[in-house]
Amino acid sequence: MTIFRTVCILFTVLPSLTAAAKADDLLIWSPAKLSERSYKATMGFRLPAEWETSAGADIALAATKGGAPLPDSEQAMLWGRIVRTNVTPAGQSQRGVKVSVDTLRGSGALTLSRSRSWILSDSLDMQSSRSVSVGYDPIDARQASVTASQALKLIHPWTGTALSAGAGLSNVSGDFSSSVAVSQTILPNLNLDASMTNPFSEDEAGSVNLRYRLNW
């Protein structure tokens, strides 16, 4: 119940405490209602510079109809990030380093990432991203792990349609994974997504989701 009370206090008090700082755009405050009884908030600060530095925490909680916290639903993740963004008339590139620590479970990760977006033609945009992550989990038998991933996305901005493909390799299992997905914007906050993981393999799986995001 201590975690539940702490999260409730943060959701109640922080908006009023941080209203003034928002004017300077140095404070990160992004609460979201994920479902009827689950909430998540990202809070922290940023320091604008050539290499933008930011740090903060992700807090989440889900409850039953009676108001009791659901087991293992609590999240209290501390994170820090350094990012450099280059913008040109034809596109944008970004390099970054992120560190995250799960304060409830003792796990953590260090991620190096690089992404680029550019105008492919008059009606198509392209995005590419790659990352390498070193993780630590005290519960896992191997504890330390390294994961590499790469993805490409083709976007038609006028219709809100996006096609993407990704691949990843993990040293924990040595398995290679892949995915393909399509996303369609229906309304400004409403998206239809369809994806398939490991196509043409025995582990093939697919899903279709309709997502609506509400911020306040």
* Interval 8-55: pLDDT, tens: 444 454 454 444 444 457 888 888 887 777 888 899 999 888 899 999
Sign of CA dihedral 9, 15, 19, 25: positive
Question: pTM (2 decimals)?
Answer: 0.67
The model's confidence at residue 200, banded by pLDDT at 50, 70 and 90, is confident
- DSSP per residue over 74-139, as a string? -EEEEEEEEEEEEEETTEEEEEEEEEEEETTT--EEEEEEEEEEEE-SSS-EEEEEEEEEEEE-SS
pLDDT at 18: 45
pLDDT at 201: 79
Sole residue written with tokens 């369809």: 194
Is-contact 80 99, C-beta < 8 A? yes
In whole angstroms, what is the distance from residue 191 CA to residue 183 CA? 7
pLDDT tens-digit profile of 143-162? 788 999 999 999 998 888 99
Q: What percent of the chain has pLDDT over 90?
A: 41
In whole angstroms, what is the distance from residue 17 CA to residue 28 CA? 12
